[in-house]
């Protein structure tokens, strides 16, 4: 006898997973750029809040203790979609895909401790924020409308502040850059296949890179001294200014997400998610910082970036969700994040993670539901390096957790 998995009864279990399938740490990845809200039936809307608390401690190259540098980080995600008819669907998604928040405290080589310095006591810190708004149009085709192509424009904003302090950065101690907010555009495209009678859905989604050109205000107090300390080359001595305001180009990376789910029995759902982001191609290259680095012949002619990564990121997440009653479902998942290389920038010294998560969803009414979940992460050990490649810190045995809450509405 053929078993039919009623998709409506499994919807509760499906959504229970999404509150805990959040948060990534390689490079600047944060939201995972989830698009599964667009695959829900009928009219659907959701609002998701995510809170990340990581404990990242270590030692600098002098053996000094580095207290927790990871600042608490939170963000929102919103999604709404509707079916125009049995062929076309439209949706709008908002998320905060990339970000960073790190702040060194205590007494270590990432704090300016020169008593005669005007920056005495100041610490190394970084903050990066992005926002994305995605419009999606989908068209179903096939004998049973089992295939769907979808795509649309993406508007993205980016802003960043970086402050380098302490002897770990050598002559770059005191360097600061403030990167102004910029909005630019990219696109999304994908293909999905569904078989509702067994709650099967497979979707492959591509997001383009987005090129930003904005203003970077830089301060490099020792730039003039660096320029004056080397012999003339290429027709004259280096003459670096201590301040500059000019254009900077930042390209946020492309990405590929693969989402899969299938019913195991009429009340149980299995899911898998794979994500790839080429962080190995990403760099932040402020012009003054880059030019000053060429004072060292070893870094000519291209100079150094302020932030870059060596490896691409892979994320794999597997989950199960179980419908316990008409109103309640629970879920669990395990995950692995490859990280973006080791050694890695001292502004984010983590090499991926392993994770385990739990979640639950409760249908308050026929249309409204609330979900909540948590994820515990074991971070990979990493050595922190400055742009020159010098190892300046070591971080081991760190962990963190993610909490998520969601309210959703669905009318089929």
pLDDT digits (tens, 9 = 90+) for 361-374: 999 999 999 999 99
pLDDT of residue 20: 47
pLDDT surpassing 90 at residue 2: no
Query: What whole-number distance in Å separates Cα of residue 173 and Cα of residue 175?
Result: 6
Q: Considering the chain, what is the average pLDDT of its residues?
A: 89
Beta strands in 287-390, from DSSP E residues, in sequence order:
307-308, 313-323, 328-337, 344-345, 353-363, 368-379, 382-385
pLDDT of residue 159: 97
3-state secondary structure (DSSP) of residue 7 = helix
pLDDT of residue 262: 92
pLDDT digits (tens, 9 = 90+) for 313-323: 999 999 999 98
Q: What is the DSSP letter of 37?
A: G
pLDDT of residue 362: 92
Q: What is the DSSP letter of 38?
A: G
Peptide bond preceding 343 in cis form (omega within 30 of 0): yes
Peptide bond preceding 301 in cis form (omega within 30 of 0): yes
pLDDT digits (tens, 9 = 90+) for 265-284: 888 999 999 999 999 899 99
Other Cβ atoms closer than 10 A to 141: 10
pLDDT of residue 234: 47
pLDDT of residue 28: 86
pLDDT surpassing 90 at residue 116: no
pLDDT of residue 19: 47
**What are the domain boundaries of the chain?**
7-411
Query: What whole-number distance in Å separates Cα of residue 308 and Cα of residue 271?
Result: 33
pLDDT of residue 1: 43
3-state secondary structure (DSSP) of residue 17 = helix
Contact between 366 and 387 under an 8 Å Cβ cutoff? The reply is: no
pLDDT of residue 16: 45
Better-scored residue on pLDDT, 32 or 192:
192
Q: Return phi, psi of residue 146, to 5°.
A: -80, -20
pLDDT of residue 392: 96
Q: What does R_g of the chain's alpha carbons equal in angstroms? A: 24
Beta bridge partners of 151: 137, 189
Contact between 374 and 380 under an 8 Å Cβ cutoff? The reply is: no
Q: Return phi, psi of residue 247, to 5°.
A: -75, 145
> Which pLDDT band holds residue 25 (cuts at 50, 70, 90)?
low
Beta strands in 22-85, from DSSP E residues, in sequence order:
43-55, 58-60, 65-66, 73-83
What's the rounded mean pLDDT across residues 295-304?
Answer: 90
Contacts of 337 (CB under 8 A, 6+ apart): 24, 25, 26, 313, 314, 315, 352, 353, 354, 355
pLDDT of residue 23: 54
Q: Which CATH architecture has domain 7-411?
A: Beta Barrel (2.40)
Percent of the chain with pLDDT over 70: 91
pLDDT surpassing 90 at residue 386: yes
pLDDT surpassing 90 at residue 408: yes
pLDDT of residue 18: 52
What's the rounded mean pLDDT across residues 381-398?
Answer: 94
- State how beta strands 344-345 and 382-385 pair: parallel
pLDDT digits (tens, 9 = 90+) for 58-106: 999 999 999 999 988 888 999 999 999 999 999 999 999 999 889 998 8
- Of 13-17, 116-120, 193-197, highest mean pLDDT: 193-197
Residues in the chain: 412
Query: What whole-number distance in Å separates Cα of residue 99 and Cα of residue 51?
Result: 13
pLDDT surpassing 50 at residue 139: yes
Contact between 35 and 46 under an 8 Å Cβ cutoff? The reply is: no
CA distances from 387 to 14, 152, 284 (A): 43, 37, 11
> Which pLDDT band holds residue 118 (cuts at 50, 70, 90)?
confident
Query: What whole-number distance in Å separates Cα of residue 28 and Cα of residue 98?
Result: 5
């Amino acid at each position: 006898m053929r078993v039919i998995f009623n998709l409506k009864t499994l919807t509760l279990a499906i959504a229970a997973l999404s509150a805990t399938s959040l948060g990534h740490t390689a490079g600047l990845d944060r939201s995972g750029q989830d698009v599964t809200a667009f695959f829900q039936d009928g009219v659907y809307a959701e609002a998701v809040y995510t809170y990340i608390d990581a404990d990242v401690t270590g030692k600098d190259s002098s053996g000094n203790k580095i207290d927790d540098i990871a600042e608490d980080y939170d963000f929102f995600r919103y999604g709404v979609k509707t079916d125009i008819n049995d062929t076309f669907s439209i949706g709008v998604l908002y998320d905060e895909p990339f970000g960073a928040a790190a702040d060194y405290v205590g007494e270590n080589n990432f704090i300016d401790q020169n008593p005669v310095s005007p920056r005495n006591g100041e610490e190394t810190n970084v903050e990066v924020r992005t926002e994305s708004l995605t419009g999606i149009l989908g068209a179903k085709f096939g004998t049973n409308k089992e295939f769907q192509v979808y795509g649309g424009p993406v508007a993205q904003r980016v802003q960043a502040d970086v402050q380098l302090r302490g002897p770990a950065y050598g002559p770059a101690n005191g360097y600061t850059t403030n990167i102004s907010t910029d909005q630019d555009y990219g696109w999304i495209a994908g293909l999905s296949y569904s078989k509702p009678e067994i709650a099967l859905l497979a979707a492959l989604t591509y997001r383009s890179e987005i090129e930003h050109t904005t203003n970077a205000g830089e301060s490099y107090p020792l730039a003039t001294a660096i320029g004056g300390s080397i012999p003339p080359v290429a027709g004259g001595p280096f003459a670096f200014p201590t301040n500059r305001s000019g254009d900077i180009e930042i390209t946020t990376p492309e990405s590929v997400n693969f989402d899969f789910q299938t019913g195991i029995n009429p009340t149980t759902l299995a899911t898998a998610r794979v994500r790839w982001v080429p962080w190995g191609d990403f760099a932040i290259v402020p012009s003054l910082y880059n030019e000053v680095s060429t004072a060292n012949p070893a870094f000519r002619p291209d100079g150094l970036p302020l932030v870059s990564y060596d490896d691409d990121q892979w994320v794999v997440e597997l989950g199960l969700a179980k419908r316990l009653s008409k109103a309640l479902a629970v879920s669990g998942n395990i995950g692995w994040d490859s990280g973006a290389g080791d050694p890695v920038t001292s502004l984010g010294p983590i090499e991926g993670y392993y994770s385990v998560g739990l979640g639950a969803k409760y249908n308050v009414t026929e249309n409204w539901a609330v979900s909540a979940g948590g994820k515990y992460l074991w971070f990979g050990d990493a050595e922190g390096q400055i742009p020159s490649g010098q190892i300046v810190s070591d971080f081991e045995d760190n962990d963190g957790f993610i909490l998520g809450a969601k309210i959703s509405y669905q009318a089929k």
